[in-house]
A and B are shown apart, each in its own frame.
Chain A
């Protein structure tokens, strides 16, 4: 069972439908007790809201989330759900989870903010999550800030939007994507399928 963390900021229908479509067994989890009781095989932190709001609403889940991550349960962070895995963000004074070392900073001057639309991936390392994904495949992005990992080895793919930025990061059981796979049609579903396969193994 894949737990989608509902931190009360938006609609999770698309990510739920997409995970179900690729053979996952998603359930939407709305409080920490439900997460503790759920016996989740994997956790998804979806991408809605701003960094500060997301962290404030995720904090009640944090003990159980850390337990799951430290015990090796696969985690997928999407958009803001990726950014909160880092230490801090220029968007807010609220600290991130710090599961990955690094910062979240604003997109550079000279590009339209937010980045909204389909952009291409450049693959930096072939990982299980990116099986079947090629350089130049497009994914749907909506964001104003981006992640700068301290350790470049966690960067699995980048995208170019005024700056070359990490858009897929992976470290052990932690996986995160800046784009919305649940809004990225066939290739987005493939990434979610790869994640679901990982969970089954």
Chain B
């Protein structure tokens, strides 16, 4: 039986020579800052199923720095590696794959040019194309949008791009379905309402999207403890959960999260 996946996310600041992982790392807590490939090796030891490297600097000239990070990582870490942030065109994807990435994730570029999903899937395979969706709840009914029941009332979910700075007017559920038809292999679904809150995943969002598509959905945004991951993997059809700060800060190991999942009846690779 296929195991549910636990995916640490490494947000990389590539503005320094070797890059560094920065998510949730404040100046006072610098001991948790890490060199990306060293953290990657640690997560491999802990039993992570996959790793996602997001370039949060995402300027064009940093592409080569990310390639170096992936090259260094793939010398010693043998699990699926995804690169996201700043993948704008097929050439960026190719650079990532040549450096050792197995998948790329696209968000803004795919919303601006949906054909990019088809192109990546065609040239590198469906499994190589992850569509990242950053979605925000909208409680005001709009024509054509899929309304979803939540404890806080009916809402739809709007896709955002440019790192959450701009909104698209596009319904996240409809976009997920279109992305599957275009050949995306995974959907990395981040709740903007929950991201950074540590209040737990957006269960209604995750359930709505994972019930609407046949490709795996990676739940993201809001993870504060292992029980949150248990909740989203037990109560929705999500195939994977992503978390960053609970791992980077050393609050929990991947192994501890998986032990909690196993006890809760979720099938994981231990």
Judging by beta carbons under 8 Å apart, are B185 and A138 in contact?
no
Contacts of A113 in B (CB 8 A): 214
- A20 to B165 Cα, complex, angstroms: 44
Given A13-B100, A142-B127 in contact, is the A185-B78 Cβ separation under 8 Å?
yes
The count of residues in chain A whose C-beta lies closer than 8 Å to any C-beta of chain B is 30
Q: Which of A14, A112, A142, A161 contacts B215 (CB 8 A)?
A: A112
User: Is B79 touching A183 in the complex (CB atoms < 8 A)?
Assistant: yes
B3 near A112 with CB under 8 A, answer no
Q: Which of A115, A117, A189 contacts B78 (CB 8 A)?
A: A189
Contact call A118/B76, Cβ cutoff below 8 A: no
Interface residue B75 (Cβ < 8 Å from any Cβ of A): yes
Which single residue of chain A is at the shortest CB-CB distance from B3?
A118
0/1 string, A2-42, CB within 8 A of B gives 1: 00000000110110011001000000000000000000000
- Total residue contacts A-B, CB cutoff 8 A: 76
Asked whether B102 is an interface residue with its Cβ less than 8 Å from the other chain, the reply is yes
B49 interface residue (CB < 8 Å to A): yes
CB closest chain-B residue, reference A141? B2
A116 to B98, CA, bound (A): 21
> A10-B97, A18-B78 known; A117 and B102 CB under 8 Å?
no
Residues of A within 8 A of B79 (CB): 140, 183-185
CB neighbours (8 Å) of A185 from chain B are 44, 78-79
Residues B89-109 near A (CB distance < 8 A): 97-100, 102
Q: For residues 54 through 94 of chain B, which have their beta carbon under 8 Å from a beta carbon of chain A?
A: 71, 74-76, 78-80
| CB atoms of B239 and A117 under 8 A apart | yes
Using Cβ atoms and an 8 Å threshold, which residues of chain B touch A182?
Answer: 78
Assembled-state Cα–Cα distance A59/B222 (Å): 50
For residue A117, which residues in chain B have a CB less than 8 angstroms away from its CB? 2-3, 5, 49, 216, 239-240
Q: Mark each residue of chain B from 222 to 265: 1 if its CB lies under 8 Å from any CB of chain A, else 0.
A: 00000000000000000110000000000000000000000000
CB-defined A-B contacts under 8 Å, sample of 23: A11-B98, A13-B71, A14-B74, A14-B100, A17-B74, A17-B78, A17-B100, A113-B214, A114-B127, A116-B186, A117-B2, A117-B3, A117-B5, A117-B216, A118-B5, A118-B49, A120-B3, A140-B80, A142-B125, A161-B2, A183-B80, A184-B79, A185-B78
Binding site for B on A (CB under 8 A): 10-11, 13-14, 17-18, 21, 48-50, 112-120, 138, 140, 142, 160-161, 182-185, 188-189
